[in-house]
Amino acid sequence: MTLAAAVLPLLTVVVVLALIHRPLGDHMARTFTGTNDLRVERGFYRVLGVDPASSQSWRSYLTGVLAFSAVSVLLVYLQQRTQALLPYSLGLPAVPEGLGFNTAVSFVTNTNWQSYSPEVTLGYTVQMVGLAVQNFVSAAVGLAVAVAFVRAFVARRSATLGNFWVDLTRAVLRILLPGAVIAALILLSGGVIQNFNGFTTVATLTGGEQVIPGGPVASQEAIKMLGTNGGGFFNANSAHPFESPSPWTSVFQVLLMLAIPFSLPRTFGTMIGQRRQGYAILGAMAVISLVSFTAATLAELSAHGAAAQAAGSASEGKEQRFGIVGSVLFGSVSTLTSTGAVNSMHDSYTAIGGMLPLINMMLGEVAPGGVGSGLYGMLVLAVVTVFVSGLLVGRTPEYLGKRIGAREIKLASLYILTMPALVLAGTALSFAVPVLRADIDGTSILNPGLHGMSEVLYAFTSAANNNGSAFAGLTANTPWLNTALGVVMLLGRFLPIVFVLALAGAFAAQDRVPATAGTLPTDRVQSATLLVGVTVIVTALTFFPVLALGPLAEGLL
Amino acid sequence: MSSSRSTVRQLGTAVRALVLTLVLGVGYPLVITALGQAAFGDRADGQPVTLDGETVGSAIIGQGFTDAEGAALPQWFQSRPSAAGNGYDGGASGGSNLGPENPDLVAAIEERRATVAELEGANLSAVPADALTASASGLDPHISPEYALLQVPRVAAERGLDETDVEALVEENTQGPDLGYLGEQRVDVLQLNIALAALET
């Protein structure tokens, strides 16, 4: 392993992001601030019965988000339950109730946790018409909430945040759909399949039989990555050669995951008219992600642990074409964004190497996080940071001209407390309630000892953060885990959205206070460093004990 | 407007918004299928490989070269261990998910090391890691050049071929890293074995 082989793939990603974040970020800013509607959009608004010029209060905006998501859950659930009647179901039966609920919630919340194995569960129609549609619109919901929040910083004494239906439509038609078409064609050129062939059985070279799957994979793969969704067409996800045939398609998928989340700070800076503020947010995201990726790479290359020592390298659960570095790059990015796709099996990582994806999620998916959710998560942390530093130096806390009073800091705190509460409560219940523990120990956990605890912790962390990756040895298709993880995904997605839109409403209603000599600047290296510090300390204090019980103990013993 | 009326109205809007399903769930994948089949037909179909007119697999999906009991057929280059079904099952992709300290995994690795070393007549320490570990997909089409070269003497002896000819075949079928620096060097086992079969005839 030469240093160049370890560093050049990362450098490629950084250079491409540096080149695209401006045009993409500015395009998104124009998309959400422009007043012109495309002809197709006007037609769509007529179908919806929506006046695109109208603007909604935060409560009305939130109602739109929740109504749209509720209807989506119902639709995806019904599609799965009626699968046997749908075309191209490949002879697969209806999905059972519990799994159908879990999967519908999973895709609507942009989590894409998969309690099921796609090859034996879902036909092409549910994948395309159910899941892939949610890949678009759940990402669009994230974008909509993020821009509504950003508008609140620009607004003065305003009762409204914009129109959810307009934001949703524009996010789909002007950003995600064009991006997905281009990405799908590039993936096709790299060998990702796109057909309706079903399963074909061939006679192999040695006279045996092999089943070769087909499917409309490239179209789904493109939006799966661009929308930071992560639900694989196949069980092996992006490790499957039909989802990612080569090292370069894997790096391209890494770029798709990062493209929108790393461009949104630019969108933010442009929309508020202070680009440096956007770059301060971007800088904090970049520092955290670089440190995490470096640590994970070193851990995997160290080949610490019994299995890696026996084999000579940590190559269990990794593809030869990607190698260690290509696997860790993908795994890190997939958990630093809220994607959750995998091109290697995180359950088989070394103890410390596998702890880093877990920590990436525990940070709250903010470095750079999911499409939209990463930006609003980091902005809430920025509010908390200003509050903390304001207390330290005895100044009135304000962020971008908005005062952070009691109501604002309460909402920000509720936002931050939601995810850890869900993760820790879900994990604790699984082990504390005897009947659940018997099920977890007997049915769900694959690996013995400390690693089994980590599998359950990973599952709840992934669900609460809407990531979707797994320590996949865990059998999650059980009544308890399907239900608990389903509820955690719903609360982990929509409670923070409630708090962030309420916070947006509070900020929008304020006038903007002019910056004075007493205002703490938030666009400096110092303030970005503080933001990193607050992000890490909040996470470390919350999760250190449970990490010590699982991966830390496993890695250090 | 009361908030309950507003909620009902927006629920109605949400139901009407389902027309997006037609654009994103039907129109989009069908357009991509049409474009993909027209521009990249063979790739869009998964790069089927044919031998004497019969399809024997996909160029990018790994295959097992073992007997029904899973023992290596010595006249063929061997793929990595696979956790997909009973091995290289294209209907059940996936990894073993065995953890870093799992004693079953450690035992499996040690057993594979002994088996491979015996088959190749090599030292235990000469067996590379990819020969000892299952991939993430269970359908990994590739092995490392080190593992391919380790198998050359055995394959050549079984087939009565010159070692240098078989070694040249391995080199011809070695590819990567992409662009010189992305990913690892690798040998596609199915394509190597097809080239091997062609060498004899």
Backbone angles phi, psi at A364, to 5 degrees: 100, 15
**Containing structural domain, residue B101:** 47-199
State chain A's mean pLDDT as an integer.
96
B153 and B57 in a common domain: yes
Residue of B nearest to A67 (CA): B11
pLDDT at A518: 80
B124 and B28 in a common domain: no
pLDDT digit string, tens, across residues A503-549: 999 999 999 998 888 888 999 999 999 999 999 999 888 999 999 99
Fill in the amino acid letter for A129.
Answer: V
Which tokens in the block code for residue A353?
Answer: 């190497």
- Mention every residue, 6+ apart, whose C-beta is less than 8 A from residue B158: B74, B75
Instruction: Output the 3-class SS for A220-271.
Output: HHHHHHHCCCCCCCCCCHHHCCCCCCCHHHHHHHHHHHHHHHHHHHHHHHHH
A366: nearest Cα among A497, A536, A155, A483: A536
pLDDT at B118: 98
- Any CB–CB contact under 8 A between A473 and chain B? yes
B105 and B120 in a common domain: yes
Query: In chain A, pLDDT over 70 holds for what percent of residues?
Result: 100
B92 and B78 in a common domain: yes
- Mention every residue, 6+ apart, whose C-beta is less than 8 A from residue B107: none
Minimal Cβ distance to A345: which of B23, B97, B194: B97
B129: nearest Cα among A318, A238, A328, A236: A318
Sort out which chain A residues have CB atoms less than 8 A from B55's CB and list them.
Answer: 200, 202
Minimal Cβ distance to A247: which of B55, B84, B178: B178
Q: Mind giving me the DSSP string for B129-177? A: GGGTS--SSS---EE-HHHHHHHHHHHHHHHT--HHHHHHHHHHTEE-S
Give the gap in angstroms from C-alpha A363 to the nearest C-alpha of chain B: 24
**Cβ distance of B19 and A188 shorter than 8 Å:** no
Give the residues across from B187 on adjacent strands: B143, B174
Which tokens in the block code for residue A437?
Answer: 């523990």
Dihedral sign from CA coordinates of A494, A500, A503, A505: negative
Question: Are A179 and A139 a contacting pair, CB within 8 Å?
Answer: no
pLDDT digit string, tens, across residues A40-92: 999 999 999 999 999 999 999 999 999 999 999 999 999 999 999 999 999 99
- Mention every residue, 6+ apart, whose C-beta is less than 8 A from residue A349: A299, A300, A314, A317, A331, A357, B100
pLDDT at B1: 45
User: How far, in Å, CA of B162 to CA of B143, rounded?
Assistant: 22
User: How far, in Å, CA of B156 to CA of B165, rounded?
Assistant: 8
B183 and B108 in a common domain: yes
B94 and B14 in a common domain: no
pLDDT at A516: 85
Interface test with B, best of A199, A243, A319 (most B CBs within 10 A): A319
Instruction: Output the 3-class SS for A166-222.
Output: HHHHHHHHHHHHHHHHHHHHHHHHCCCCECCCCCEEEECCCCCEEEECCCEHHHHHH
Sort out which chain B residues have CB atoms less than 8 A from A471's CB and list them.
Answer: 97
pLDDT digit string, tens, across residues A292-339: 999 999 999 999 999 999 999 999 999 999 999 999 999 999 999 999
pLDDT at B201: 59
Domain extents in chain A: 373-555
The interface residues of chain A toward chain B in range 70-89, judged by CB-CB distance below 8 A, are 70-72, 75
- State ipTM: 0.97
Number of structural domains chain B divides into: 2
pLDDT at A1: 60
> Which helix (H) or strand (E) covers residue B93, if one does?
none
Fill in the amino acid letter for A174.
Answer: R
Backbone angles phi, psi at B178, to 5 degrees: -60, 140
pLDDT digit string, tens, across residues A343-361: 999 999 999 999 999 999 9
B147 and B77 in a common domain: yes
User: How far, in Å, CA of B131 to CA of B139, rounded?
Assistant: 14
CB-CB neighbours of A428 under 10 Å: 14
Sort out which chain B residues have CB atoms less than 8 A from A248's CB and list them.
Answer: 178-179, 182-183
pLDDT reading at A225 higher than 50:
yes
pLDDT reading at A387 higher than 70:
yes
B77 and B51 in a common domain: yes
Which tokens in the block code for residue A147?
Answer: 């821009």
- Any CB–CB contact under 8 A between B181 and chain A? yes
Numbers of helices and strands, H then E, in chain B: 7, 5
Query: Consecutive sets of 10 residues in chain B, 201 residues long: mean pLDDT of each?
Result: 78 95 97 97 96 94 94 97 96 97 98 98 97 98 98 97 97 94 96 92 59
pLDDT digit string, tens, across residues A392-426: 888 879 999 999 999 999 999 999 999 999 999 99
The residue that leads in pLDDT, A391 or A240, is A240
Residue of B nearest to A45 (CA): B17
**Coil vs helix vs strand at B58:** strand
